[in-house]
Amino acid sequence: MPGVQIIANPVAGGGRGQVQAEALVAALEARGVAAQLVCTGKAGDAREEAARAQADIIAVVGGDGTLNEVLNGMPEGTYTALAILPVGTANVVARELGMKSDAPFVADAIVTGDVVAMDVGLHEKQRFLLGAGAGLDAAVAHAVHVGRGKKSNLLKWVLPALRVMLQYDYPKIRVVVDGAEVAGDADYVIVGNCRYSAGIFPATPQAEIGDHRLDVCVMRGLNWPRLLWLVARVWSPGFINASWIDYRQGQEVCLTPATEHDTVRMQIDGDPAGHLPATFSVADWSVRMIRPRGSVAPTDE
């Protein structure tokens, strides 16, 4: 088997990234696979390492943000496959693929697992695998990013999220999917390539990673009762049938502020990505992802 290039964020998972990366090297070598480890030191390093990597397999040790950097550094249409050892905060893409935060498990998947094609989302020249959000979760992502420091964990999301939710004024969003207007007064929009979004919530439950479509969950008239209802019911795929939710699928999603006076933040793959307007689409090529042999997407039942 060809060698594996490991790109690791050493401070991911509250500082567990370095230990997990070294454990993956040992696990791969125990299985007869040569592995080269590179640890990042700052934002942008993972992208640069991915751009010059020569291995047929890149293993990413980190969270969705590190994975996004690697994806954006890889050549378009590359044959290189990606594996994930998740040690980030939410690990949405790893969850979708059934990858665990366990070095021997990931090493086994690299050696004996399946390779599946996963759609690549686009916003201008930026690629994404997880998805994007506009409105509430993007405001939370911005608040967390400002205050979290070098090490991130789930607890560092709690207070900023509560603070944003108490103060957020819901600027309106216009949503157009494949040229048809879905809403002109949305409060919160999730564009999903995976089923999970906003951390651990299955907010786009009908999303499939290889169907060449983006799933769009549009919420209107949000208030505290509806937010509490959403937290309780989002685990059931039927939540999208609520009267104040529109759910669509398409290949191009355009989000704009409803008026020129509104400023709406957005996030891509869980990280702050500026403000609307934005257009999201599906690339005409897929990325090869490694997952455990015979695994299927987890259910929320």
Which domains can be identified in the chain, with CATH numbers? 4-112 (3.40.50.10330), 128-283 (2.60.200.40)
Least confident of 7-11, 126-130, 146-150: 146-150
Average pLDDT of the residues in 43-71: 95
Which region, left, alpha or beta, applies to residue 53 given φ > 0 means left and ψ of -120 to 50 means alpha? Answer: beta
Q: Using an 8 Å Cβ cutoff, are 69 and 95 in contact?
A: no
Q: pLDDT at residue 292 above 50? A: yes
Residue 127's pLDDT is: 97
Surface-to-core class of residue 253, CB atoms within 10 Å of its CB (0-12 exposed, 13-18 middle, 19+ buried) = buried
Q: Is residue 110 predicted with pLDDT exceeding 80?
A: yes
**How crowded is residue 223: how many other Cβ atoms within 10 Å of its Cβ?**
11
Query: How large is the average pLDDT for residues 130-138?
Result: 92
CA distance 290 to 301: 25
For the segment 17-31, the average pLDDT, to the nearest whole number, is: 96
DSSP strand pairing (35-39 vs 4-8): parallel
Rounded mean pLDDT, 230-254: 95
77 phi and psi, to 5 degrees? 70, 15
pLDDT at 297: 53
Q: Give mean pLDDT, residues 50-61.
A: 95
Question: Alpha-carbon distance 35 to 53, whole Å?
Answer: 12
The four Cα atoms 38, 43, 44, 49 give a dihedral, to 10 degrees, of: 0
Cα-based torsion angle of the residue sequence 82, 273, 147, 157 in order, rounded to the nearest 10 degrees: -60
Look at residue 155 in the predicted model and tell me its pLDDT: 55
pLDDT tens digits, residue range 218-233?
Answer: 999 999 999 999 989 9
- Distance, CA of 301 to CA of 297 (rounded, Å): 12
Question: Distance between the two ends of the chain, CA-based, in angstroms?
Answer: 38
Distance CA 276, CA 69 (A): 21
Kindly report the pTM of this predicted structure: 0.89
Q: Please list the helix, strand and coil fractions of the chain in percent, rounded to the nearest 5, in that order.
A: 30, 35, 35
- Token digits for 94? 């790893």
Question: Which residues have a Cβ under 8 Å from the Cβ of 264 and sit 6 or more positions away?
Answer: 134, 135, 138, 171, 173, 255, 257, 275, 276
Rounded to an integer, the average pLDDT of 204-208 is 96
Q: Is the pLDDT of residue 48 over 90?
A: yes
Across the chain, mean pLDDT equals 90
Q: Is 62 left (phi over 0), alpha (psi -120 to 50) or beta?
A: left
